[in-house]
Amino acid sequence: MEKLNSNLIPLRTDFTEKKDRICIFGTGDFGRSLGLKMLQSGYSVIYGSRNPNAVSMVPKGVEVLNHAEAAQKCSVIFLAMHRNHYSFLAELSDVLQGKILVDVSNNLKINQYPESNAEYLASILPGAKVVKAFNTVSAWALQSGTLDASRQVFVCSNDNIAKHFVMDIVRGTGLTPQDRGSLLAARDVENYPLQLFPMWRLPMYICAGLTVFVFLYCVMTMVVYTAIYEKKDVSYYILVTIPNKVFPIVSLMLLALVYLPGVFAAIIQLHRGTKYSRFPNFLDQWMLCRKQLGLVALAYAFLHAIYTLVIPIRYSVSFRRNNGIIEQIKSNNTRPFLYSSTWRSDTYLAFGILGFFFYILLGITSLPSVSNTVNWREFRFVQSKLGYLTLLLCTAHAMVYGWDRFLIFSRFKWYLPPAYTLALIIPCIVLIFKFILITPCIDQRITQIRQGWERMSKTQKDTHLQNDNLAI
Ligand SMILES: NC(=O)C1=CN([C@@H]2O[C@H](COP(=O)(O)OP(=O)(O)OC[C@H]3O[C@@H](n4cnc5c(N)ncnc54)[C@H](OP(=O)(O)O)[C@@H]3O)[C@@H](O)[C@H]2O)C=CC1
Ligand SMILES: [Fe+3]
């Protein structure tokens, strides 16, 4: 019983330095900034350095000793030095026995070494309690106190007590610790500061590729084609008219791409008859960046809305409108009021406004502060049901807008359809498949697969059938 208690209850008695004394090895940029922050937060700081007498620029009021002397006085030691200098610590293994060593180091490249720096340190000093922390905060941010970027400090260690002790120090310096588990997580924690928007990369590439393609396609079909076959110069389309085609088209394509992997996943599950098998890698990657794809799509929809609002104040538009009126006066011939055109324009505007409204709603619910306030089922309802409704409304908006210029009615050749016809391909595929997938028999089959039907025993299956109404 005694043994059990001693394992469970954190024994803090040997770490009495809380808000007291902390040792930092290394008087470089990070060591100095961290020392200053610790002093400001009420800790006393002792530096361990190779040349204690030659050290300058350390904060006032701190002691600078050699490594062994400094380590003896504290039980928590921050190693503010680079990994390639860790080897000398082996000589101090006696004095570092049982001490908490905080590894703050970063690398120059992702996965630079076979093992993480923290695991390497633990292998050199098996008797010490290695904790990975503070590597995500920059020296400049610690010193200036502005901490523009994240205030989060990831902490991981194989020793729970040591980890919680360091997490308390993190809190003591006004930062927010995040427990990342054991030292196995150290590699990810070390890679974190080296990443540059990893989840945004694929969506950005897709978005840039589609934008360039649609823009060039529009220039070719609208400007070059008109110049060659109709001998008219409409190059002024390039600044407003064409972007106002590119943004909605790419936005619609991206929104459809958010829902396409879900359709693929359902088809794969149907085909394999089980959910217990991995999706192809590309599908996994694609699924993971759906939120980012959706947000880029929303940004493009915003641009489309703004570009559309300026149409009435464009010179070319008001010139054409005024000219139309003058023509009618001159010829003494009033154009008839076309009911079909009124209905068409009101319909696509209504679809567009509603589609945009739901688009914004989707964007807002994906913000962490909002998504934290809804449960999983509510989140799924908004992102899935409202998402498909948005896609449906936006597709309908594009279809009604381009109705008379559709494919065969196109003034272009059949092999050069207007760009928005291309834009409709992916949304139509998604919507048609979604429609097929929600038909009762297929929907039931997918639900069975998702609930692991094959793996259930007969009695389990019976119970399941009774509870069928409760199924998702
Ligand atoms: N700078 C930053 O913004 C951040 C840095 N880090 C990490 O903090 C660590 C220190 O970075 P930084 O302060 O910028 O680096 P510096 O090069 O400024 O300082 C490193 C310190 O390590 C000590 N040192 C150098 N060579 C040896 C050696 N051969 N043996 C023992 N000690 C040595 C020196 O201290 P002395 O002369 O006193 O012995 C030196 O000042 C690195 O691992 C870095 O990845 C993490 C997050 C942010
Ligand atoms: Fe539109």
> DSSP string of 316-352?
HHHHHHHHHHHHHHHHT-PPP--HHHHHHHHHHHHHH
Q: Please, what CATH class does the domain formed by 2-194 belong to?
A: alpha beta
Could you tell me the distance, in angstroms and rounded to a whole number, from the CA of residue 326 to the centre of ligand 1?
78
CA distance 87 to 120: 10
Q: Quote the radius of gyration of the chain (alpha carbons, Å).
A: 32
pLDDT digit string (tens) for 206-259? 999 999 999 999 999 889 988 988 888 999 999 999 999 999 999 999 999 999
Could you tell me the distance, in angstroms and rounded to a whole number, from the CA of residue 398 to the centre of ligand 1?
58
| Nearest atom (ligand 1) to Cα of 141 | 3
DSSP code string of 451-471: TTGGG--HHHHHHHHHTGGG-
CA distance 254 to 164: 44
| Nearest atom (ligand 1) to Cα of 140 | 3
CB contact at 8 A, 101 and 159: no
pLDDT digit string (tens) for 343-387? 989 999 999 999 999 999 999 988 878 877 878 888 888 888 889
Exposed / middle / buried, residue 360 (Cβ in 10 Å: 0-12, 13-18, 19+):
middle
Instruction: Report CA torsion sign: 400, 401, 404, 405.
Output: negative
| Nearest atom (ligand 1) to Cα of 67 | 39
| Residue at 383: amino acid letter | Q
Could you tell me the distance, in angstroms and rounded to a whole number, from the CA of residue 83 to the centre of ligand 1?
9
The complex's ipTM?
A: 0.95
How far is C-alpha 324 from the chain's CA centre?
Answer: 50
Whole-number pLDDT of residue 3? 43
Q: How many residues does the chain have?
A: 472
Could you tell me the distance, in angstroms and rounded to a whole number, from the CA of residue 199 to the centre of ligand 2?
28
- Please identify every stretch of the chain with a pLDDT value under 70, giving residue numbers as ranges: 1-19, 145-150, 274-277, 403-416, 452-472
Any atom of ligand 1 within 6 Å of the Cβ of 31:
yes
CB contact at 8 A, 13 and 163: no
Any atom of ligand 1 within 6 Å of the Cβ of 28:
yes
Could you tell me the distance, in angstroms and rounded to a whole number, from the CA of residue 90 to the centre of ligand 2?
67
Residue nearest to atom 18 of ligand 1 (CA): 28
Sole residue written with tokens 């409409």: 234
Residue nearest to atom 19 of ligand 1 (CA): 28
Whole-number pLDDT of residue 61? 77
pLDDT digit string (tens) for 79-102? 999 999 999 999 999 999 999 999
Give me 63's structure tokens.
Answer: 């002691």
Upper half-sphere CA count for residue 469 (Cβ side, 13 Å)? 1
Give the closest ligand to the alpha carbon of residue 135. 1
Give the closest ligand to the alpha carbon of residue 359. 2
Q: Where are the domains of the chain?
A: 2-194, 200-330+339-457
Residue nearest to atom 22 of ligand 1 (CA): 81
CA distance 68 to 79: 13
CB contact at 8 A, 414 and 379: no
Residue nearest to atom 40 of ligand 1 (CA): 28
Burial 305-339 (b: 16+ CB within 10 A, else e): bebeeeeeeeeeeeeeeeeeeeeeeeeeeeeeeee
Any atom of ligand 1 within 6 Å of the Cβ of 165:
no
Could you tell me the distance, in angstroms and rounded to a whole number, from the CA of residue 127 to the centre of ligand 2?
66
Any atom of ligand 1 within 6 Å of the Cβ of 82:
yes
Which of 23, 24, 27, 30 for mutating ligand 1's site (highest number of atoms within 8 Å of CB)?
A: 30
Residue nearest to atom 47 of ligand 1 (CA): 135
